[in-house]
């Protein structure tokens, strides 16, 4: 694996010194892989261009790029390229969880949020950020000025998950605050009442926003392979339960699968992109989802 590609691995990124460095190297590693994959037709380095499509006016063909790369791009006008997006990062108590050998769900989500913000700025898109638990803790509106990335990164880097939760309640309020039509990227474990989560996601679509729902879970939350006797601690209430995972594992997995399946089904029916990511997976999974949605807008 090339040096740049290793920065897509959570365990490597977590060792870096700052959130800004982490985000920058994740994006650089992602772009390196993008240019050597079937996704290479999507231009990242040329934010003011897009891939040529039959019927495009040849007057806008950039022949310098054709000569240099052998790929066909046409120049875009600013109003064609700019996308307005908001990143919503869940800072509730359940996001503090991490199993042995993995990073916290919150840290994984924070790195994704920072890398997405940086990638959007490279694309000359306007991007904003909201941090929330039961209520909105921080709200930075969408802007495209390049220097704005420092404010976004600083806000992400200084955040810590709280002991509260209320994902659905907070998201309903954020759908109202988002303003004019844009792209909403929601990064959360979606550990809340299933129906309430679905209603909150529908609220964004009711407001005519495009939506990507990124559900971040720890591998042990998915398989419940916790070994022998364990003490389960509610990350938000502190309540403890002594148990043997094999006694409740089947019921837990059934409930989680039903919860996730409902969210996924409702997202599909309403044109929302849903992606489930566990914290052992490389970061390019989330970044590819953003680029795929951006191409369709």
| Number of independent structural domains in the chain | 2
**Tens digit of each residue's pLDDT (9 = 90 or more) over 104-154:** 999 999 999 999 999 998 888 899 999 999 889 999 999 988 899 999 999
Whether residue 217 sits in one domain with residue 245: yes
- The answer, yes or no, to whether residue 159 has pLDDT greater than 50, is yes
Report the alpha-carbon distance of residue 49 to residue 56 in Å, rounded: 12
pLDDT > 70? residue 18: yes
Instruction: Report pLDDT for 17.
Output: 86
Q: Which of 79, 110, 126 is the last residue of a domain?
A: 79
Within 13 A of 297's CA, how many CA atoms are on the CB side?
A: 25
Q: Which of 166-170, 180-184, 232-236 has the lowest mean pLDDT?
A: 232-236
Say which residue, 61 or 150, is predicted with more confidence.
150
Q: Which pLDDT belongs to residue 218?
A: 95
Shared-domain flag, residues 183 and 234:
yes
Q: State whether 74 and 170 are in the same domain.
A: no
Together in a domain, 240 and 157: yes
CB contact burial 213-241 (16+ within 10 A = b; e otherwise):
bbbbbbebbeebebeeeeeeeebbeeeee
Domain termination residue (choose one: 79, 106, 135): 79
pLDDT value for 39: 41
**Same-domain check for residues 126 and 69:** no
Beta bridge partners of 54: none
Which pLDDT does position 41 carry in this prediction? 40
Q: Which domain holds residue 41?
A: 5-79
Assigned token pair, 5: 């590609």
Asked if 57 and 149 sit in the same domain, the reply is no
Mean per-residue pLDDT over the chain, rounded = 82
From 45, 79, 113, the end of a domain falls on 79
Query: How high is the pLDDT of residue 247?
Result: 54
**CA-to-CA distance for 198 and 202, rounded, in angstroms?**
6
Per-residue confidence at 92, pLDDT binned at 50, 70, 90?
Answer: very high
* 117 and 33 within one domain: no
Q: Do 145 and 251 belong together in one domain?
A: yes
Q: Which of 277, 80, 295 is nearest to 190 (CA)?
A: 277
Q: CATH number for the domain including 183?
A: 3.40.50.410
pLDDT of residue 49: 57
- Residues 49 and 160 grouped into a single domain: no
What is the structure's pLDDT at 53? 67
The predicted structure's pLDDT at residue 245: 53
Residues 256-296 have pLDDT tens digits of 899 999 999 999 999 999 999 999 999 999 999 888 888 78
100 and 73 in a common domain: no
Both 124 and 58 in one domain: the answer is: no
What's the whole-number mean pLDDT along residues 145-167? 90
Q: Return left, alpha or beta for 217; rule: phi > 0 is left, psi -120 to 50 is alpha, else beta.
A: beta
The predicted-structure confidence for 193-216, as pLDDT tens digits, reads as follows 999 999 999 999 999 999 999 999
Q: Which residue has better confidence, 42 or 277? A: 277
Q: Is the domain of 62 the same as that of 94? A: no
């Amino acid at each position: 694996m090339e040096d740049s590609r290793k920065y897509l691995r959570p365990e490597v990124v977590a060792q870096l010194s700052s959130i800004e460095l982490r985000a920058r190297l994740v994006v650089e590693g992602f772009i390196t892989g993008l240019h050597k994959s079937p996704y290479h037709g999507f231009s990242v380095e040329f934010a003011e261009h897009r891939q040529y499509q039959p019927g495009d006016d040849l007057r806008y063909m950039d022949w310098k790029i054709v000569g240099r790369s052998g790929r066909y791009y046409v120049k875009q006008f600013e109003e064609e390229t700019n996308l307005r997006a908001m990143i919503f990062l869940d800072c509730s108590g359940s996001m503090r969880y991490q199993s042995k050998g993995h990073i916290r769900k919150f840290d994984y989500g924070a790195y994704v949020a920072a890398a997405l913000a940086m990638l959007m700025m490279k694309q000359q898109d306007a991007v904003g950020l909201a941090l929330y638990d039961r209520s909105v803790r921080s709200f930075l509106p969408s802007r495209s000025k390049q220097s704005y990335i420092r404010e976004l990164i600083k806000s992400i880097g200084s955040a810590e998950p709280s002991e509260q939760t209320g994902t659905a309640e907070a998201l309903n309020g954020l759908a109202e605050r988002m303003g004019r039509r844009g792209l909403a990227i929601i990064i959360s474990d979606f550990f809340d009442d299933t129906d309430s989560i679905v209603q909150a996601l529908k609220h964004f679509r009711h407001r005519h926003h495009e939506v990507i729902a990124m559900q971040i879970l720890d591998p042990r939350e998915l398989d419940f392979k916790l070994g022998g006797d364990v003490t389960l601690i509610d990350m938000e209430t502190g309540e403890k339960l002594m148990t043997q995972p094999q006694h409740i594992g089947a019921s837990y997995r059934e409930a989680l699968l039903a919860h996730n399946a409902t969210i996924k089904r409702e997202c599909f029916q309403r044109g929302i992109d849903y992606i489930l990511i566990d914290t052992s997976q490389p970061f390019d999974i989330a970044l590819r989802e953003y680029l795929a949605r951006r191409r369709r807008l």
